[in-house]
Amino acid sequence: MGLAVDDLTEMLKGTLEGCVLEIISREETYGYAITRRLNDLGFTDVIDGTVYTILLRLERNQLVQVTKRPSEVGPPRKFYALTDAGRQNLATFWTKWRYVSSRIDKLKEGDA
């Protein structure tokens, strides 16, 4: 299960934001839940502060649209949904990911 490799922070640079976009694309959701989702996915060390900085950046860059809604179990939540620019950005993220990961895998295989 966990077994969690420690200190993935450098390797997550440039990809964590894309993961957050992907999560939002699936379903309108909010910061706290996104952090939990990432932790469940295996990124156990990703902390809420990191996710919120990403969300603020996404909002500033107009890749997401924000709707504040009250919660029954705590303070109000900010729900995020992708804008057209956000969907475009997510698409190019996956294109880049396919490109980079395939090249790295090829280097690992040795046949390159």
| Contact set with DNA (CB under 7 A) | 8-10, 12-17, 30-33, 45-50, 52-57, 70-78
**Binder to its own copies among 53, 67, 88, 92 (CB under 8 A)?**
92
For its own copies, the closer of residues 4 and 56 by Cβ is: 4
**Binder to its own copies among 57, 69, 87, 106 (CB under 8 A)?**
106
Residue type, 4: A
The reply to whether 45 sits near its own copies by the rule CB under 8 A is no
Give the shortest CB-2-to-its own copies separation in angstroms: 11
The reply to whether 53 sits near its own copies by the rule CB under 8 A is no
Give the shortest CB-111-to-DNA separation in angstroms: 23
Q: 3-state SS of the chain?
A: CCCCCCCCHHHHCCCHHHHHHHHHHHCCEEHHHHHHHHHHHCCCCCCHHHHHHHHHHHHHCCCEEEEEECCCCCCCEEEEEECHHHHHHHHHHHHHHHHHHHHHHHHHHCCC
